[in-house]
Structure 1
Amino acid sequence: MRFYKILFFLVFIVFSNNSFSNQISNCNVLTEKYGKKFNLPNKLLTSISLVESGKKIGDKFVSWPWTLNVAGKSKFFKNKEETLVYLKKNYEKKKNIDIGCMQISLKYHGKEFDNLEHILDPESNVEYGAKFLKSLFNRHKTWNEAISRYHSSIPQKKRGYLKKVQLFWSDLRQRKQYVDIGSNDEKQKKIEFFRKEFRKKKYSSEI
């Protein structure tokens, strides 16, 4: 009997760890997927998601799907259920809430979703964020303007936000560049070097 209890405990730990690992990588996997689908510049959507919902977990800095911004203050929840409980309790009296991986504004974009579960769902959230960013580019004709307006149309807010995104974007593209060049041995050395550098900066090795 004791053996089965231990076995059950070990299985529970493994599945819990896998579930947590999936949550950590979920936003970034989806931003890569929809960045390609909407033909966005390489790593741009991932960079925006890190600015929008970035959270330090251990030695990593990742986009966290269960993130809300309520009246300018970020709130990080453990899981979907906990996030939904807060949303359902507060969304009517606090309309100024940004939700999920891409921090979609409930006030301005909520009508585009069926319900709170829909806007919080990482896949739906990231897909809408990608589509919205592409629409901003089509309207304003430059990526800098599209990035800025993803956050705000107020000049002062636009400038600060653009700088943040450009910092992440530059680092992620630089990393991609070094992974892609050189022989296999050279690649491996460069990969290891930049992994160490990015760990220092708290960037996720899963991006």
Structure 2
Amino acid sequence: MRFCPLGFILLLVAGPAWSNPSQLCRAAIAQAEREAAIPAGLMQAIGRVESGRRSPETGVFGPWPWVINAEGQGRFFPDAPAAIAAVRELQGRGVRIIDTGCMQINLHHHPNAFANLEEAFDPVANARYAANFLIRLNETRRDWAVTAGHYHSQTPERAEGYRARVLAAWPEEIARLQREPPGPVLALLSATSRALPHAALSPVSSLSNGGEAARVIPIAGGAGRGLDAYRAQPVSISGRSMVLLPQRLLTR
């Protein structure tokens, strides 16, 4: 089946309001949440922690579709071809542990996630695989807060800090969805994504590349921009629980 670059289609069809690539991630994530019946806003919060950046044009903070994390460093790119070229350069040097896209899917730990690199950086394919992976994780945990931490790592100390960040972001993402429902763009996304098959899932593990501590990095040179996946979070984070979410959202 011929792959269709849905993010590119959305940029062409959806108009100026969708010229911000972060919105491509948000629409794809909303669609994936809906398809998989994942609590609204949870994947949005995960995406924000995984690939969040502040748009240089609008100042709005959100997930970014063309970002990679490898060798303890992350970089943002202006488009999919630039990100793909960077991944190929890394692979040419023998680097295999590479996180990709809106939801930072690791190409080594999830080798069957995508048919090719173009699909890895397509927001719909990336978000859909992440949704399927979350569902698999939650089948045994039955607690979305625990599942959110294990999306990143099953090592307790790593999962705990990550979970705190996701849960801190979640209420704001719920509020955002209420203020800005995907509406017509979500319908467009759904229509154009029908030809995209669900990827085969790898055995359940985690998406972490094992380099969590190295995500706080100086700005890297080259075509990409430095990524600290946890920087500039517009939420307060402390050592205590701060999330006032209904219990029905956390258990299933």
Q: Is the TM-score greater than 0.5?
A: yes
How far does the alpha carbon of each residue in 1:41-97 deviate from its partner, in whole angstroms, 9 at most, with x for none? 111111110000001113210111001111332210111111111111112511111
Query: Are 1:140 and 2:141 an aligned pair?
Result: yes
Q: For 1:153 and 1:101, how far apart are their aligned partners in 2?
A: 21
Rate the CA distance shift 1:79–1:176 in 2: closer, same or farther, 3 A: closer
Q: For 1:175 and 1:73, how far apart are their aligned partners in 2?
A: 30
Q: For 2:81 and 2:30, how far apart are their aligned partners in 1?
A: 25
Rate the CA distance shift 1:113–1:61 in 2: closer, same or farther, 3 A: same
- Is the contact made by 1:55 and 1:63 (CA closer than 8 Å) also made in structure 2? yes
Q: Residue type matched to 2:84 in 1?
A: L
Q: For 1:97 and 1:70, how far apart are their aligned partners in 2?
A: 5
Q: How many residues align?
A: 169
Write the mapping of 1:1-207 to structure 2, written as runs, cut at 5 A: 18=16, 21-58=19-56, 59-92=59-92, 93-174=94-175, 201=234
Does the residue aligned with 1:112 lie in a helix, a strand or coil? coil
Does the residue aligned with 2:159 lie in a helix, a strand or coil? helix
Q: Relative contact order (C-alpha < 8 Å, sep 6+): which is higher?
A: 2
Give the superposition deviation at 1:110.
2.2
Rate the CA distance shift 1:89–1:35 in 2: closer, same or farther, 3 A: same
Give the superposition deviation at 1:176.
5.3
Q: Structure 1: which 5+ residue stretches go unaligned?
A: 1-13, 181-199, 203-207
Q: Structure 2: which 5+ residue stretches go unaligned?
A: 1-11, 182-232, 236-252
Rate the CA distance shift 1:169–1:115 in 2: closer, same or farther, 3 A: same
Rate the CA distance shift 1:155–1:179 in 2: closer, same or farther, 3 A: same
- From the two aligned structures, give the one with the greater helix fraction: 1
TM-score (norm 1): 0.74
Q: Pick the structure with greater CA Rg.
A: 1
What's the % identity of the aligned pairs? Answer: 30
Residue matched to 1:5: none
TM-score (norm 2): 0.61
Q: For 1:176 and 1:35, how far apart are their aligned partners in 2?
A: 12
Q: For 1:78 and 1:25, how far apart are their aligned partners in 2?
A: 14
Q: For 1:147 and 1:134, how far apart are their aligned partners in 2?
A: 11
Q: For 1:82 and 1:137, how far apart are their aligned partners in 2?
A: 34
Cα RMSD after superposing both structures? 2.7
- Is the contact made by 2:99 and 2:107 (CA closer than 8 Å) also made in structure 1? yes
Does the residue aligned with 1:42 lie in a helix, a strand or coil? coil
Give the superposition deviation at 1:130.
0.7
